[in-house]
Every structure is written in structure tokens, then in C-alpha cells.
Structure 1
Amino acid sequence: MVNTLNHIGLDKKASSSLSDKLNELLANYQLFYMNARGFHWNIKGDKFFELHLKFEELYNDSLLKIDEIAERILTLGFTPLHTYADYSEISKIKAAKNVSSGIEAIKEILKGYEVLLPLERELLEMSGNSDDEGTNALMSDYIREQEKLVWMYSAYLG
């Protein structure tokens, strides 16, 4: 009899699909992280101190999520993408170059969430259908947190 379960007791085929989608999320997070880091470095203007700190929080949080996503892929029995070439090829989030305006940076962050949130919702549904509570809990946490951030960043723009 062929074993259809992976080492943590989940369906191998479903775990493969989840890992592919998690790698897509990982690639997008890597570009989101790099953009936030650039905003942190290059921000100018009267809101410099406020936004400089906010962007630092954002890239530090993204770095944690990148690690969690990669480790989840490994837990499912697959390999996380780990080259810039892979990230830039797969990511729907594109590099935001030379952004120093706070308003423009916030708009770019919101555009990033327009990519991340649908991916996370798709993963939430996929993981729910696969009884993958680990991925499901991770996505649920990300979605709840990011919906609030979208509200806050949108409120900042007026």
C-alpha cells in the first residue's frame, strides 16, 4: 500500500499544493520586505521620524513572517525558494525604487497588501480543506493583523 501521508500526517498531494502557494507568498513577502526597508532608508519630509519607525516595524515583522513561511514549507516536506531570481520571477509585488515620499510609500504598502491578503485567504481556504491547522492558524493570524494595518494605513492617507 502506498503511503499518501507526509511525515506530519497530512496528504502529500495537498501539502505539495500548499507548499507551492506558500512559496508564492514567500516570494511576495521578500519583495514587500525589500520595499519596506527601502522606504525606511529613503523616507523624507515632515513625517520622517514617525514613518521611519513605522517602516522599521513593518520590515522587522515581514522578516519574521518570511522565516515562518519558509519553515512551514519545510515542515510540509518541501523546499522554500531562496534566490532573488525566483522571488522576482514569481512575485506580483514589484520593487518600489527610490521612493522618498511618505504618501507614495504608504500607497505602495497598501498595494502590497492587495497582493498578500488574497494569497493568504487562498491559503486559509486550501489549508482548511486539507486539515492543515498549522498553515491555517498562520494565515488566520496574518489576515487579522493585516486587515487592521490596511485600515490604519488607509486612515493615514485620509
Structure 2
Amino acid sequence: MSTKLNQIGLKVKDTKALVEQLNSLLANYQIYYQNLRNFHWNVSGPNFFELHAKFEELYTTAQTGIDEVAERILTLGARPYSSYSEFLDNSQIEEAKVISDSKKMVEITRDNLTALIDVERVVLETAGEVADEGTITLISDYITAHEKTVWMLSAYLK
């Protein structure tokens, strides 16, 4: 009896739930990213310069994260979501449509990051259960960075 392994030596059946969770993270990350682009383009007011730059910094970082999550899914031998309909259907983060208040933009960004952290913690737990050190390392780093950004955005809002 042979056990089917993926290209990095993990059991395919053991990584099925992990891949689903990573795709959920990918979907949430994509909507978070697009929200940041929206805010970067549409922010105005007395905090324009600092928020315009901050949103750009955050979406640039998010773009890298999106690519890394998709590549991790591929490394596990699965297909990452790649269409907006898949992202929208599988994201807990909602699109921020017409937002004109800069404080609300920061609040939404903080809340989106908190939602990402929630998904990342689920991924981290499952990755631990299947001994997927690559995913553990990747997601641990995201959690650390996202928690710090949540703290900073929360301090900005006070």
C-alpha cells in the first residue's frame, strides 16, 4: 500500500485542508490588497501625504504576500485561486467600495488585517498538524508583521 506524497514529501490527503485554508487566505489577501489600492487612490484631506504613502507601502507588502501564498499552494501540489469571483466567493473580508473618510479607511485596513490574522492562525494550526515547516515559517512571519501593523494603525486612530 503506497501513500501518495506531494513533491515536497507531505501526504496529499493530509494537506487537503491546509490547501483550502491557504486558498481562503489568498482570497482574503486579494480583497485586502484591492481595498488598499482603493484607499491609496482615493484618500484626501489633511492626512493625505502620510496615508497615501502608508497605503502604498501596505499594498506593496500585500502583493508580495499574495504571490508567496499562491506559490506555497503550488508547492503543495494544488491550484491557487486566480479569479476575482473565486476571491470574492472565498473571502471573509469585504470590498470597501466608496469610502471618503480617511479615518474610516484606516479602521477598515486595521479590521482587514485582523481578519487576515484570524485566517493565518487557522492555517498555522493546520500546518503544525501536518508538520509543514515551510508553511509554518511563512505564516508565522505574516502574523508577526500583521500584528505589529494592527498595533500601529490602532495607535494612529487614538
TM-score range, shorter chain: over 0.9
Query: Identity of paired residues, percent?
Result: 49
Give the Å deviation of 1:88. Answer: 0.6
Give the SS at the match of 1:33.
helix
SS in 1 for 2:14: helix
Q: Which amino acid aligns with 1:85?
A: S
TM-score where L is the length of structure 1: 0.97
**RMSD across aligned C-alpha pairs, in angstroms?**
0.9
Alignment of structure 1 residues 142-157 onto 2, 5 Å = 142-157=142-157
- Match runs of 1:40-59 below 5 Å: 40-59=40-59
- Superposition pairs of residues 93-132 of structure 1, within 5 angstroms: 93-132=93-132
Q: Decide which moves more: 57-66 or 99-108.
A: 99-108
Q: CA shift at 1:6, angstroms?
A: 1.5
- How far off is 1:5 after superposition? 2.0
Rounded Cα–Cα distance in structure 2 between residues aligned with 1:140 and 1:50? 28
Rounded to whole Å, the distance in 1 between the matches of 2:114 and 2:63 is 19
Amino acid of the structure 1 residue aligned with 2:58:
L
SS of 1:6's equivalent in the other structure is: coil
* In structure 2, distance between residues paired with 1:113 and 1:8: 30
Partner Cα distance (1:142, 1:14) in 2: 23
Task: Specify the code of the residue in structure 2 equivalent to 1:70.
Answer: A
Runs of 4+ displaced beyond 4 Å: none
Q: Which residue of 2 aligns with 1:71?
A: 71
Report matched runs for 1:70-89 at 5 Å.
70-89=70-89
Q: CA deviation at 1:17?
A: 1.2
Q: CA deviation at 1:114?
A: 2.3
Q: Separation in 1 of the partners of 2:76 and 2:55?
A: 31
Residue 63 of structure 1: CA displacement? 0.5
Question: Hey, what does 1:25 align to over in structure 2?
Answer: 25
Distance 1:5 1:82 in 2: 24
Q: Distance in 2 between matches of 1:37 and 1:97?
A: 11
Asked if the contact 2:114/2:150 (under 8 Å) is kept, the reply is no
Shift of 1:110: 1.4
C-alpha distance in structure 2 between counterparts of 1:35 and 1:21, whole Å:
21
Structure 1: unaligned runs, 5 residues or longer: none
Query: Which residue is equivalent to 2:134?
Result: 134
